[in-house]
Amino acid sequence: MRRIILSTESGADLPGDLVEKYEVQVVPMHIIMDGKDYLDGSLPVQDIYDYYRRTKKIPSTTATNAHEYQEFFATIRENFPDCIIIHIGYTSKASSSFQNAVIAAEDFEDIFLIDALNVTGGLAAIVLYAAKLLAKEPGIEPEHLVERIKAIVPKSRLAFIPGNLEFLKAGGRVSNTASLIGALLKIKPCIELKDGKLMSTKKYRGKMNRATEKLLSEYLNEYNIDRQQLYFIYSIGLDERIRQRMEEVANENGFQNIRWIQAGGMISTHSGAGGFGVAGLEQ
């Protein structure tokens, strides 16, 4: 029986212990800061925020290129001879990374590519679903596993509130006027993945503690999320009291397992410090 290896991008923000537990192979995306190219994961996220405070500029991000994917897939094959690779990628609607994986995979056999149409915790939820299923059914046929993963892709729901609008403005995500109005009125946008695209869907007025509680309440009312697992995403600087309250609300709604995921460099360059998000799989 040939071994199945799962892979994904660093933009999934998979916690290190789970990467190790399930032997998920992770290819880094790129962060460009101060003229230097850093592999996502090699640069402390705090350095990104410190750089922004000093310069009022944020780093740019770039996708994993096709050559890097070729080396990545080749290395997996060297480490796991005769394996079958299932790559679950960062949404193709927000990055060219997945298309580059498609180009690289042309030089290999027995590689399955799945566009997760999601990012950070939403992507992580899909990868971990696949990892747990594979651990439970190690003899599963690759084609059947791929079908199961593809079926869960549209059921992964991610919603988050960025840390601050000023950071989004610096990255060109919102106009100066929208940012100014948002700051004056204390309006915080909710960003969701819709058909693989990052879209502002709601706006919350008030402090972050009120906004996050409103977000989670509406999220749980809108989506019938599987109570077996819920993922909370946070960026450095999120108030600990908010984290505690989010866990309380999740417990009150019957969630058995809650996993916190720290936003890595890729996501943090677009959302700023102190952000909060929630992800899960619909039943």
> How far apart are the C-alpha atoms of 30 and 18, rounded to whole Å?
22
Query: In the predicted model, is pLDDT for residue 175 greater than 60?
Result: no
CA separation (Å) from 11 to 46, 82, 116, 119? 17, 27, 12, 6
Quick one: CA dihedral 98, 9, 222, 134, positive or negative? positive
When pLDDT is cut at 50, 70 and 90, the band that residue 100 belongs to is very high
Query: In the predicted model, is pLDDT for residue 185 greater than 70?
Result: no
> How far apart are the C-alpha atoms of 156 and 177, rounded to whole Å?
33
pTM metric for this prediction:
0.95
What is the residue type of 235?
Answer: S
Segment 234-244, tens digit of pLDDT: 999 999 999 99
Please say whether the beta carbons of 11 and 62 come within 8 A. no
CATH 3.30.1180.10 range(s) for the chain read: 156-281
Q: What angle, 0 to 180 degrees and rounded to 10, lies between the N-to-C axes of helices 97-105 and 66-79?
A: 60
Strand order in the sheet with 60-62: 36-39, 30-33, 60-62
What's domain 156-281's architecture? Answer: 2-Layer Sandwich (3.30)
Segment 69-99, tens digit of pLDDT: 999 999 999 999 999 999 999 999 989 999 9
Q: How many CB atoms lie within 10 A of CB 117?
A: 23
Segment 31-45, tens digit of pLDDT: 999 889 999 999 999
H-state helical runs in the chain: 16-22, 45-55, 66-79, 97-105, 120-136, 142-152, 165-170, 176-185, 208-222, 240-252, 265-271
Instruction: Report the mean per-residue pLDDT for the chain.
Output: 92
CATH 3.40.50.10440 range(s) for the chain read: 4-32+61-152
Torsion of CA 45, 46, 47, 51, to 10 degrees: 110
What is the residue type of 170?
Answer: A
> How far apart are the C-alpha atoms of 121 and 272, rounded to whole Å?
16
> How far apart are the C-alpha atoms of 95 and 37, rounded to whole Å?
17
In the block, residue with structure tokens 């640069």: 43
What is 4-32+61-152's CATH superfamily?
Dihydroxyacetone kinase; domain 1 (3.40.50.10440)
When pLDDT is cut at 50, 70 and 90, the band that residue 179 belongs to is low
> How far apart are the C-alpha atoms of 116 and 122, rounded to whole Å?
8
Strand order in the sheet with 4-9: 25-27, 4-9, 84-89, 111-115
